Amino acid sequence: MTIVTHVTIEPSKEPIWDAAFRERVQAAKQQPGWVGVQLCIPTGVINKRVVIGTWETRAGWEAWYNAEAFQKTRAQMDGVETAAREEWWHEVTLDEHR
């Protein structure tokens, strides 16, 4: 399962958000069911982020969402976000890499 999340960050607070996200990823790597993540910055829009997270199951992600490490970074990230996150779940039917 893949979750795609769009985030808008208060201008000049991007380094705070990015640091918290890197901390979150390090903790997520230890979470059962974690597969991988991509963090993207749309071209020309420095204060937006697109997170593409892949999990074996949605239940694995939900366990992570309720974990202490996730909640800790969530508090840091929420403090610099300027709009509500937009999230979409997708069932992965093909995953190829070079």
Please give the average per-residue pLDDT across 69-89, as a whole number.
Answer: 92
Per-residue pLDDT, 58 = 95
**Cβ atoms 51, 37 nearer than 8 A:** yes
Give the chain's domains with CATH numbers: 2-90 (3.30.70.100)
Give me the residue label for tokens 């000049």.
Answer: 12
Residues 61, 3: Cα–Cα separation, whole Å: 9
Confidence band, pLDDT 50/70/90 cuts, at residue 24: very high
pLDDT of 54-73, one tens digit each?
A: 999 999 999 999 999 999 99
Quick one: which of 17, 19, 13 has its CA closest to 5?
17
Least confident of 24-28, 39-43, 72-76: 72-76
Per-residue pLDDT, 4 = 98
